[in-house]
């Protein structure tokens, strides 16, 4: 098993990270018993990194994860996140000292632990000075309730602002970033990924299979749509994700992945994850299996090393469109 350090820290994490967003979702997610089996199988396979968030299924994910790791807490690197709406009050969201303090205490109760290894800002808060957020996170570290701090879904400029704030205040810097990244979503390569790398941050990527697109389950053929993450929901966000994801370009990428998988005698899922594992700057990849079978399919990608020419084929077909000023400094 290969372990890597979490950014500029001494903490060792597995390259596979178990994402638990489906845990506790009663409509299309994973129930308590199957969640426990997934966690046990993941850890038994030698991996140690588990990620959740307070907002996942209104806290149910944290509760399930807490129960599942209760007898193996010291063997697990546990990450959670705060920021999102957790109530009806004006201070029940965001990265203010008031909200984050309550959010962390609530997460610790649900997780049944007195500390988390990695506490992350789930998004940038435009209403709170970053100095306040970073000072609050530093207080968590000094209290022993949090070991390391990170963020998710930040722009490159926001990463710089956060690290500068920590430097000015003499407080704990961010050690990690959790962004979206896959063969169909390579936007972070233009600015966010290089910025994180320059600041020595670990990059823990989410949605490595493009919401299921890179499993090959979605096709352009007529007929009833396949049940999956991209076909659920009828709100504006869900419709927007379908419009952005189910495109001709992305179907061309999936076709090339499928072709390569057949040549290598493996699956589109494994090929997609293996390509991502080989990308510069990537520390760990978050997988979000809903079943034990999906966990096995996902973990196969961490045992696959793509031939250099195969990786180049996928990089070429998935090369994203580039606008100004990035095309002036193109390194894709």
Spatial contact of 270 and 297, defined as CB atoms under 8 Å apart: yes
CA distance 40 to 292: 10
CA angle 149, 155, 160 (to 5 degrees): 60
CA distance 277 to 12: 17
Q: Which of 213, 319, 332 is nearest to 272 (CA)?
A: 213
* CA distance to 17, 121, 324, per residue, from 3 (Å): 11, 24, 38
Q: Identify the active-site residue in 56, 83, 119, 218.
A: 56
CA distance 39 to 61: 12
Residue 201 has pLDDT above 60, yes or no: yes
CA distance 62 to 86: 13
Q: By percentage, how much of the chain surpasses pLDDT 70? A: 92
CA distance 93 to 99: 6
Enter the pTM of the model. Answer: 0.93
Spatial contact of 313 and 321, defined as CB atoms under 8 Å apart: no
Question: pLDDT tens across 153-187, in order?
Answer: 999 999 999 999 999 999 999 999 999 999 999 99
Question: pLDDT tens across 23-45, in order?
Answer: 998 888 899 999 999 999 999 99
Q: Is 56 designated active site? A: yes
Q: Which residues of 274-304 are buried (b: 16+ CB within 10 A; e: fewer)?
A: bbbbbbebbbbbbbbbbeeebbebbbbbbeb
Who's near 32: CB < 8 A, 6+ residues apart?
24, 64, 67
Domains and CATH numbers, the chain: 3-215+268-308 (3.20.20.100)
Lowest-pLDDT range of 37-46, 113-122, 146-155, 322-331: 322-331
């Amino acid at each position: 098993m290969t372990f890597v350090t979490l950014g500029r820290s001494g903490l060792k994490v597995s390259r596979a990270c178990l994402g638990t967003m489906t845990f506790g979702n009663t409509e299309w997610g994973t129930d308590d018993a199957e969640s426990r089996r997934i966690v046990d199988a993941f850890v038994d396979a030698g991996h140690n990194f588990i990620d959740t968030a307070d907002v996942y299924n209104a806290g149910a994910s944290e509760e399930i994860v807490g129960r599942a790791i209760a007898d193996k807490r010291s063997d697990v690197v546990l990450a959670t996140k705060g920021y999102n709406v957790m109530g009806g009050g004006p201070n029940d969201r965001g990265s203010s000292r008031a909200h984050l303090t309550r959010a962390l205490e609530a997460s610790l109760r649900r997780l049944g632990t007195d500390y988390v290894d990695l506490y992350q800002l789930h998004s940038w808060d435009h209403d709170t000075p970053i100095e306040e957020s970073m000072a609050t996170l530093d207080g968590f570290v000094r209290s022993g309730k949090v070991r390391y701090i990170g963020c998710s879904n930040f722009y490159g400029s926001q990463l710089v602002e956060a690290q500068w704030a920590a430097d000015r205040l003499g407080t704990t810097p961010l050690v990690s970033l959790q962004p979206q990244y896959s063969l169909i979503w390579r936007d972070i390569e233009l600015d966010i990924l290089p910025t994180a790398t320059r600041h020595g941050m670990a990059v823990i990527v989410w949605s490595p299979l493009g919401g299921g697109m890179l499993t090959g389950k979605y096709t352009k053929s007529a007929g009833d749509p396949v049940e999956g993450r991209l076909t659920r929901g009828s709100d504006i966000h869900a419709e927007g994700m379908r419009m952005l994801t189910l495109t001709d370009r992305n179907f061309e990428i999936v076709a090339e992945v499928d072709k390569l998988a057949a040549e290598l005698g493996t699956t589109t899922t494994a090929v997609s994850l293996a390509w991502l594992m080989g990308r510069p700057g990537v520390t760990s990849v978050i997988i979000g299996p809903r079943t034990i079978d999906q966990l096995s399919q996902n973990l196969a990608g961490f045992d696959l090393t793509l031939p250099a020419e195969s990786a180049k084929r996928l990089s070429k077909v998935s090369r994203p469109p580039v606008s100004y000023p990035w095309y002036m400094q193109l390194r894709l």
